[in-house]
Structure 1
Amino acid sequence: MSETTSRVSVNVKNVEDLKSRMKSVTAADPDQYHNSFSLERYLRAFKTVDAAFQAILKTNEWRKEYQVQSLTVNNPIIKKYLEGNKARILHHRDVNGRPIIYIPVKNHNVNDRDIEELTKFVVYCLEEACKRCFEEVIDNLCIVFDLKGFRITCMDYQMIKNLIWLSNKHYPERLGVCLVLNAPTVFHTCWPVIRRWLDENTSRKIKFVDDSNSLATYLVPDALPENM
């Protein structure tokens, strides 16, 4: 997706076909997750009705098994990671109206984390940010990795893999733009490894931002917190 808010259109017949298939899913589970905007995202990501429908079924099963609805601010794991300033959903939006997930990478240490807990916290952040989308206008997110204070112990390849997997399989087409701020020289030795895990569409959404003028292209000046 480009940096604008416009959506890539999907075939109307495919949307109607997918809605028809979803009737049986909705009848069996009235609280199931997907609305018409979600169906269109799955079609854009998985291309065919068959592939999109199968992907939706897998997401529904994953959400139940992973107990996504239990990942709230009252969950002890979520509370711990919020108190540790691992990430925040910001009050501000980006210049295109996207909700912002802000991640101060300096607060992360690969040697002092539980990957299962951290992945649950990432799911919580994705869920909360998605809830703040005005889907009629824009249904994707801005994720900001702030690398100020980055050390090599902050680099967590497994967590990056988990985030990519979640984005591809269960939050398709939710990423609008990913900003990488204040990247030090040492991070540029890590980036080629990460880059190989990304498809071309996702890779185009990664933007390295090194100065305030460039940042203003994406965010209002006072959007980022100063106390994390």
Structure 2
Amino acid sequence: MSTYVKPVIPTEGRLGHLTVEQTEKLQQFWVRLYDIFDGKTQFDQTAPSSFKGQNRDEDTPAPAPEKKSGWFGRGKAAEPTEAPKEAPAPRFTGADLQKAFWKLTMMDHPDLILLKFIRARKWNLDDAMKMFLNALKWRIVERLDELIELSDVELEAKYPKFIEQMKVGKGYLRGADPLDRPMSVVNARLHHKADQPPETIHKFTLYTMECGRMVLPPSAETVIVVFDLSNFGLDNMDWGFVRLFVQCFESYYPETLGVCVVHRAPFVFWGLWKLIQPLLDPVVASKFVFTRNNAELHKVIPRDRLPINHYEGLDDWTYEYVPGTPDENAPMKDLVKKEEMINERHALESRFDAVTRAWIKNIDGQNSSERDEIAKELREQYARLTPYVRAKNLYQRLGVAHDGQVTWTYNVKA
């Protein structure tokens, strides 16, 4: 008998459930956003300081200021010819951010994206705008386009042992709960920090986040993450990954984490948790659920959505990495068709922009059905555009994500 307890998902402030006042706030946010895109409003064009040194091993303490010159302090002056030179900080224009915005949107309604940032900052538009612009800059700096445009083999060439992360099943997406929230499983016991370059696990984490967006259906806005800490030891701990995980769900993919299940945490974990918990925003911290055994896990995720092996579920399924084929990305090489599809996309974006600009001329808190219809066209068109701009990933090979649809299959055994 199932012990699953179906949660109630809040609708307040969500797309399709906005009050007049909330719709007015959304309209005002669009006004500010277009002023930045059009270059009418000044904004901080530099990358936030937190981006600097992002590839440094985060477990290595920063050198003491009095002994080191450079980013972390000014010690004794070195010879001019020997002084390390800091790479110039990138600067962003409104046009850069508008391009990043449309790439972020993908198959989502543009309002849905903005509302996540607005809700994350409790409807304070100044704070929400700062957060949103930082997220767009971050996506550019992190080269997230590259992660979806390169094949597995190409990612392996650029980031050694990238494919190995998938082969061992260190982290993967599997199934969805009855509310259609995709589930991401992280097998911490399989991770050893020294087994791969830090940049590889950093990029693999972001790659999984972007794959998760592809299997997020219109009926769901959030995901479930299961940290399986079975047989976890201190040698499995990676502070760099923890920081990235926290930053992603707090700052760059806000309002996306539905539940974070920490499963079978051993005694050694609780000392680490005392260090992790203060890093979390209270809202994100409230999403953590701790399950000591499979029976408790079945209350959060129904047994028919969990594998028989290891989780005592009902789904006769075992994770396996399916490699790509040599010709699976042939459409990306069809430059004529690719350009045609991209131009079609830009035309739809321009239509949405034009209707939105007309909509925000009168801040009246009324929804625009015309905008919603164009948003549906954007989702449909992205499904057709995908083969020309995205390399095929594991979840497309498995048939989970196909033609803009998300289909999980479960081999349920009684």
Give yes or no for TM over 0.5: yes
User: Which residue pairs with 1:94 in the alignment?
Assistant: 177
- Over 3 Å counting, the alpha-carbon distance change for 1:131 and 1:21 in structure 2 is farther
Say if 2:140 is the partner of 1:64: yes
User: Which residue pairs with 1:110 in the alignment?
Assistant: 193
What aligned pairs does 1:143-182 form with structure 2 within 5 A after superposition? 143-182=225-264
Greater radius of gyration (CA): 2
- Alpha-carbon separation, structure 2, partners of 1:140 and 1:204: 14
Deviation of 1:143 after TM superposition, in Å, equals 0.5
User: Which residue pairs with 2:114 in the alignment?
Assistant: 39
2:32 aligned residue (10, 18, 21): 21
What aligned pairs does 1:131-150 form with structure 2 within 5 A after superposition? 131-135=214-218, 137-150=219-232
Deviation of 1:139 after TM superposition, in Å, equals 0.5
Deviation of 1:222 after TM superposition, in Å, equals 4.5
User: What's the RMSD between the two structures over aligned residues?
Assistant: 2.3
After superposing on structure 2, the runs of 4+ consecutive aligned residues of structure 1 that deviate more than 6 Å are none
Q: Which runs of 5+ in 2 are unaligned?
A: 1-6, 39-93, 310-317, 320-414
User: Which residue pairs with 2:163 in the alignment?
Assistant: 79
Deviation of 1:38 after TM superposition, in Å, equals 0.9
1:4 aligned residue (5, 8, 11): 8
- Alpha-carbon separation, structure 1, partners of 2:205 and 2:256: 14
Deviations 1:25-61 (A, max 9, x none): 3993453424111100000112311222222222222
Q: Which runs of 5+ in 1 are unaligned?
A: none
- Alpha-carbon separation, structure 2, partners of 1:33 and 1:158: 24
Amino acid paired to 2:193: V
As a proportion of its length, which structure holds more strand? 1
TM-score, length basis structure 1 = 0.88
TM-score, length basis structure 2 = 0.50
Query: What percentage of residue pairs aligned between the two structures are identical?
Result: 23
Stretch deviating more after TM superposition (21-30 or 155-164)? 21-30
- Alpha-carbon separation, structure 2, partners of 1:149 and 1:211: 13
Cα pair 1:98 1:140 within 8 Å, conserved: yes
Deviation of 1:114 after TM superposition, in Å, equals 2.5
Amino acid paired to 1:155: M
Aligned residue pairs: how many?
225
Cα pair 2:250 2:281 within 8 Å, conserved: no
Amino acid paired to 1:18: F
